[in-house]
């Protein structure tokens, strides 16, 4: 199919003066300027000895310079390793030890956290048409032929112990970008809001790569701000992909401003991914935007996309849609928690990763007989649409009954004071209890007993939370996705 950076070359050849990228640091690049920035950065990296099959770690937050680094790696034949700058020093060092990069680029102009990391690494400044980086080198590294045709290595969110580097090939990334662009009907007239971190596959493929394929403009944001998003939606943004938490925080912001919605704007497509929808929330969000909320499902190992919806405004469907073109999906009911049509979601096709870097055991466990085992539980409805019941490892077995966290979360999220919620199981002797963590606005916290009664009216007894914690913030990844594995420690004082 070609190389990742070919998308950029195609745009340069037909519309060099069109705006390709902007960021909130003030950069504004045409496709020609974008191409020149990539060329100049390629030269700088090659001077520093970067060769094909090397790894280039990019410690960044969203900005034009970070995108230039990704495409520069593609031109060289090196593997880009984008890592969110907001990770701790310990997390970064574990990734460095695992990926063994030749150099580390840090987007110090766009990220105060990258600046702090650069200081600890005694990195040198690098300034050019591509913007500003700091560069740390050399490291104990060597080209690795196992990375043949690997474009990018992404480390999965919230991993503990040895990091898992997901190897995505040029074909993976290109397929993900083209499929996302076609799904959204993306054209060169579109203005795409790029707040999803490019260190995550959703932002990398479904936003940046899709836009480079279609020739659309991307407005990059280093960090999510509901106020900034609200302003951008009123200033020409036509496509906005997000996780549900971003939508929820935007609607809360608008409510605080006394505004009912943003219907009078150019927005024509918005979608939600990385977490389940619930019917009441979807109705509220569609009324707020005035356009359908499309849902989708994917994971890092599947280059984001497995399935997606294509619904009309007001359609009550809360599935993650049908399999994308070229993608196969089936359900394995033999796993724990599998019954009555529910089982582990398996997928195969050109979107599936090459494997985990330097981790043959994990690769063999995930890739079996040509299928990727996602670890997610799901089922098909009568229309062939996929529904996700939750992570198989997050399944709660309470009193001998299966409890699927998304169902409990959907019930709680229907409460007018709840912004979002997260439900997990807490192991006790001989059982698992259902614990719920609810986010609400400061100054508008719901009463816990009221929430319990609200849930009781909507859920069978065995599904009802035995504990509910109310807070103004929940621990979250840079994407906004709630980090469930941190909830018990984060709220230990309140749980007693």
pLDDT at 274: 63
Residue 182 in domain: no
Residue 207 in domain: no
pLDDT at 161: 47
Per-residue pLDDT reduced to its tens digit, 399-434: 666 687 888 888 898 899 998 899 988 877 667 889
Residues 141 and 261 in one domain: no
pLDDT at 344: 92
Contacts of 112 (CB under 8 A, 6+ apart): none
Residue 188 in domain: no
Per-residue pLDDT reduced to its tens digit, 53-91: 999 999 999 999 999 999 999 999 999 999 989 888 888
- Minimum mean pLDDT among 375-389, 421-435, 445-459: which range? 421-435
Residues of the domain holding 318: 224-392
Residue 177 in domain: no
Residues 295 and 379 in one domain: yes
Single out the residue of 222, 246, 215 nearest to residue 233, CA to CA: 246
Residues 83 and 161 in one domain: yes
Alpha helix locations (H) across 338-476? Answer: 360-366, 405-413, 448-456
Residues 355 and 255 in one domain: yes
484 pLDDT band (50/70/90 cuts)? confident
pLDDT at 400: 61
Q: Please give the C-alpha separations between residue 424 and each of 93, 238, 365, 433, in angstroms, as whole numbers.
A: 30, 36, 25, 8
Residues 27 and 78 in one domain: yes
Residues 31 and 59 in one domain: yes
Angstrom distance (rounded) from CA 105 to CA 54: 14
Examine the fold and report which residue of 138, 170, 202 is the final residue of a domain before the chain moves on: 170
Single out the residue of 243, 198, 200 nearest to residue 221, CA to CA: 198
Examine the fold and report which residue of 392, 407, 432 is the final residue of a domain before the chain moves on: 392
Residue 341 has pLDDT above 90, yes or no: no
CB atoms within 10 A of CB 418: 22
Residues 255 and 319 in one domain: yes
Residues 277 and 139 in one domain: no
Contacts of 354 (CB under 8 A, 6+ apart): 149, 150, 167, 168, 169, 172
Residue 197 in domain: no
Residue 208 in domain: no
**CATH code, 427:** 3.30.300.30
**CATH code, 69:** 3.40.50.980
Residues 274 and 248 in one domain: yes
Single out the residue of 352, 346, 320 nearest to residue 331, CA to CA: 346
Single out the residue of 302, 297, 305, 393 nearest to residue 355, CA to CA: 302
Residues 357 and 260 in one domain: yes
478 pLDDT band (50/70/90 cuts)? confident
**CATH code, 245:** 3.40.50.12780
Number of domains making up the chain = 3
User: 447-466: buried (b, 16+ CB within 10 Å) or exposed (e) per residue?
Assistant: eeeebbebbeeebeeebbbe
Residues 308 and 381 in one domain: yes
Examine the fold and report which residue of 341, 364, 392 is the final residue of a domain before the chain moves on: 392
Residues 401 and 369 in one domain: no
Residue 341 in domain: yes
pLDDT at 282: 86
Residue 183 in domain: no
Helices 31-47 and 6-14, axial angle in degrees (round to 10): 140
Angstrom distance (rounded) from CA 379 to CA 202: 23
Per-residue pLDDT reduced to its tens digit, 176-212: 999 999 999 999 999 999 998 899 899 999 999 999 9
Mean pLDDT for the stretch of residues 148-164 = 76
Q: Which residue has the higher pLDDT, 282 or 288?
A: 288
Per-residue pLDDT reduced to its tens digit, 93-117: 989 999 999 999 999 999 999 999 9
């Amino acid at each position: 199919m070609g190389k990742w950076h070919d998308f950029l070359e195609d745009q340069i050849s037909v519309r060099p003066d069109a705006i390709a990228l902007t960021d909130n640091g003030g950069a504004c690049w045409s496709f020609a300027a974008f191409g020149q920035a990539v060329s100049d950065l390629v030269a700088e990296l090659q001077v520093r000895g970067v060769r094909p099959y090397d790894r280039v770690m990019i410690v960044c937050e969203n900005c034009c310079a970070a995108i230039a680094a990704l495409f520069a790696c593609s031109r060289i034949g090196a593997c880009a390793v984008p890592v969110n700058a907001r990770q701790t020093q310990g997390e970064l060092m574990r990734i460095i030890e695992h990926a063994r990069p030749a150099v580390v680029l840090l987007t110090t102009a766009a990220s105060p956290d990258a600046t702090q990391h650069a200081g600890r690494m005694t990195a040198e400044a690098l300034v050019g048409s591509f913007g500003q980086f700091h560069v740390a080198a050399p490291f104990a590294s060597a080209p690795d032929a196992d990375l043949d045709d690997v474009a990018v290595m992404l480390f999965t969110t919230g991993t503990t112990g040895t990091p898992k580097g997901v190897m995505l090939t040029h074909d993976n990334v290109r397929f993900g970008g083209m499929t996302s662009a076609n799904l959204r009907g993306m054209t060169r007239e579109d203005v795409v809001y790029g707040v999803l971190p490019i260190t995550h596959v959703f932002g990398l493929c479904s936003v940046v790569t899709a836009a480079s394929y279609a020739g659309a403009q991307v407005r990059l944001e280093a960090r999510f701000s509901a106020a900034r998003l609200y302003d951008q939606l009123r200033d020409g943004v036509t496509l906005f992909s997000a996780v549900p938490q971003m939508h929820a925080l935007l609607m809360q912001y608008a409510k605080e401003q006394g505004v009912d919605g943003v219907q009078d704007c150019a927005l024509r497509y918005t979608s939600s991914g990385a977490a389940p929808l619930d019917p009441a929330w979807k109705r509220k969000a569609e009324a707020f935007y005035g356009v359908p909320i499309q849902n989708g499902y994917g994971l890092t190992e599947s280059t984001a996309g497995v399935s997606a919806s294509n619904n009309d405004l007001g359609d009550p469907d809360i599935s993650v849609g049908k399999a994308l073109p070229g993608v196969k999906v089936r359900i394995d009911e033999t796993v724990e928690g599998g019954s009555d049509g529910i089982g582990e979601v398996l997928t195969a096709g050109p979107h599936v990763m090459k494997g985990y870097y330097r981790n043959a055991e994990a690769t063999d466990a995930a890739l079996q007989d040509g299928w990727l085992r996602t670890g997610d539980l799901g089922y098909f409805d009568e229309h062939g649409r996929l529904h996700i019941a939750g992570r198989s490892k997050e399944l709660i077995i309470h009193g001998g009954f299966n409890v699927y966290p998304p169902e409990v979360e959907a019930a709680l999220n229907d409460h007018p004071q709840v912004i979002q919620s997260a439900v997990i199981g807490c192991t006790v002797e001989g059982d698992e209890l259902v614990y719920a963590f609810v986010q609400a606005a400061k100054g508008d916290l719901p009463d816990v007993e009221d929430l319990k009664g609200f849930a009781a009216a909507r859920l069978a007894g065995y599904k009802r939370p035995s504990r509910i914690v109310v807070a103004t913030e929940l621990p979250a990844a840079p994407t906004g996705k709630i980090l469930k594995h941190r909830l018990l420690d984060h709220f230990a004082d309140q749980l007693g």
